[in-house]
Amino acid sequence: MDMRHFDWNLIKSFLAVLDAGSLSGAALSTGISQPTLGRHIDELETLTGLVLFERGRSGMTPTQNALALLEEARSMQAGADALAMTVAGRETAVAGTIRITASEIVSNYVLPEVLIALQEAEPALEIELVASNSVQNLLARDADIAVRMVRPVQNDLIARKVNEMAMGAYARRDYLDRHGTPDTVADMASHRLIGYDRNDLIERGMARLGLTFDRSQFRFRVDNQIVNWELVKAGAGIGFGPRFVAAKSPDLVRVLPWLDIEPLPYWLCSHRELKHSARVRRVYDFLAQRLAALPLSGVTA
C-alpha cells in the first residue's frame, strides 16, 4: 500500500459498509452518498490489491480479506476517535455545533423549551438533537451529550442524575365518560389498553408492583413513544406516560392515581474528555440546571 496517497476516510467507509452489509445501509448510517461509499471501497481495494467485498443482490458480503483487515481497521478508527476527543476537549469557545441525544418523549415534550433557552443564552451554538430511543455511542462521538433513562456503565463516561420523571396511567375524559373509570387494575382488563409492541417496559414495571400484565392485553401496540402517547391523547384508550407531559393536556385524566409506578430517572451523560471543552461544559451545566428545575416528579396531574 502506498501510504503517501492513503485517505483515512476510506477506512470509515470500509467499516460502515461492513457493519451495514450494503451501500444503502451505510449511506443511511453515515450520511455519505452511495456513489461516494462505492468509490471509497473501489479505491481501498485498488490501494490494497485485495478484493474486500463480493457485490450481489443481497448487498456487500465481506471477503476473508476484509475480515482479516477488520481488527486493524477498528483500531485505526478508535485512534481517530480518541484524537478527535482530545482535540474537542481543548476547545475554549462556546460556539459551533453541539449534538444532543434523548428519547423521543424527552426530545418532543421536555427539551424544546430548554433548548430554545440554551440557544438564546448562547447564540453562537448550533444545536443538533437526535431523537432516538437507542443508546447513542458517546465514545464514538455519535453525540456530545445524552439524556438517558439508565445510568451508563462505561468508565470513560461521566453521568449526573438530574431528575426523575413521575409516571401515571391516563385516558381522555370523553373515553372514560363512554367506558367508565376503572377502580382496580383488574377493571382495566375490560378497557382498551395502549402499550408497546416489542418493548416490555410496561410489563416489567407492573411486575415490580406484583401485578401480572402481558402484551396480549394491549388493544393498541406501538413502540414509537410519540405515536403511543398521541393515541392516548386521541382517546383510543388507557395508556401510560409521564405525569409532567400529561399535565400539558387538560383533556387527560389520571386513572388509578394510587398506582405507584416507578419513576424514570434522568441521567445527563458525556465523555470525560469533553468536560474540558468550554462548549460542552457550558451546555452540560445548562442542561443539568434546567432539567433539575423542571417539576418532573412533583406534578399533580
- pTM surpassing 0.85? no
Max CA-CA distance within the chain?
76
3-89 matches 96-161+264-293 in fold: no
Q: Would you tell me which CATH number, out of the four given (1.10.10.10, 1.10.10.60, 3.40.50.720, 3.40.50.1110), belongs to the domain 3-89? A: 1.10.10.10
Give bridge partners of residue 271 from the DSSP assignment.
157
Looking at residue 87, what is its pLDDT?
61
- CATH tag, 167-255: 3.40.190.10
Domain ranges of the chain: 3-89, 96-161+264-293, 167-255
Burial of 163 (0-12, 13-18, 19+ CB in 10 A): buried
DSSP-derived 3-state class of residue 229: helix
Answer whether CATH 3.40.50.720 is correct for domain 96-161+264-293. no
Looking at residue 300, what is its pLDDT?
54
Angle at 148 between CA 147 and CA 153, to 5 degrees: 120
Looking at residue 237, what is its pLDDT?
96
Task: Please give the Cα distance from 131 to 100 (Å, whole number).
Answer: 9
CA atoms within 13 A on the CB side of 227: 8
Per residue of the chain (301 residues), what is the pLDDT tens digit? 554 556 778 888 888 888 888 888 888 877 788 889 889 998 888 888 889 898 887 788 889 988 888 888 888 777 766 666 666 555 667 888 999 999 889 999 999 999 999 999 999 999 999 888 766 566 566 788 999 888 877 767 888 999 999 999 999 999 999 999 999 988 988 899 999 888 888 888 777 777 777 788 889 999 899 999 999 999 999 999 999 999 999 999 999 999 888 898 999 998 877 667 888 889 999 999 999 999 887 655 5
CA distances from 214 to 70, 186, 189 (A): 42, 13, 11
CA distances from 28 to 16, 20, 25, 149, 229 (A): 10, 9, 5, 26, 27
Angle at 99 between CA 97 and CA 101, to 5 degrees: 165
